[in-house]
Amino acid sequence: MNIGFIGLGTMGEPMATRLVQAGLTLTVFDLNSDAVNRLAALGAHRAESAADVASKAEIVFVSLPTPEIVQKVALGEKGVIEGSKVRIYIDLSTTGPRVAKLVASQLAEQKIVALDCPVSGGAAGAAKGTLALMVSGPSTAFDEIAHSLRILGKAIYCGEGAGLGQTMKLVNNLVSVTALAVSSEALVMGVKAGLAPKVMLDVFNAGSGRNSATVDKLPRAVLPRTFDFGFSTALSLKDTRLCLDEAEAMGIPMPVGSAVRQMLNMTRAAYGDSADFTRMVCVLEQWAGIEVPLVSEI
Tell me which amino acid residue 270 is.
A
C-beta of 235 vs 263, nearer to ligand NAD? 235
Cα separation, 79 vs 71, whole angstroms:
9
The DSSP symbol for 216 reads: I
Asked if 168 contacts 158 with a C-beta cutoff of 8 angstroms, the reply is yes
Q: Is residue 169 annotated as part of the catalytic site, yes or no?
A: yes
Closest distance to ligand NAD from the beta carbon of 19 (Å): 15
Given the residues 169, 192, 198, 238, select the one marked as catalytic.
169
The three-class DSSP label of residue 205 is helix
Asked if 38 contacts 67 with a C-beta cutoff of 8 angstroms, the reply is no
Asked if 71 contacts 99 with a C-beta cutoff of 8 angstroms, the reply is yes
C-beta of 32 vs 286, nearer to ligand NAD? 32
Closest distance to ligand NAD from the beta carbon of 14 (Å): 9
12 binds ligand NAD, rule: CB under 6 A? yes
Closest distance to ligand NAD from the beta carbon of 190 (Å): 28
C-beta of 173 vs 211, nearer to ligand NAD? 173
Residues 233-292 that bind ligand NAD (CB under 6 A): 235
Cα separation, 95 vs 101, whole angstroms:
10
Closest distance to ligand NAD from the beta carbon of 9 (Å): 2
Size of interface with ligand NAD, in residues (CB under 6 A) = 26
Cα separation, 232 vs 201, whole angstroms:
23
Burial class of residue 33, CB neighbours in 10 A (0-12, 13-18, 19+):
exposed
β-bridge mates for residue 283, sequence order: none
148 binds ligand NAD, rule: CB under 6 A? no
Residues 50-79 that bind ligand NAD (CB under 6 A): 63-65, 69, 73
Would you tell me which residues interact with ligand NAD (CB under 6 A)? 6-12, 29-32, 35, 63-65, 69, 73, 93-94, 119-120, 122-123, 230-231, 235
By annotation, the residues acting in catalysis are 169
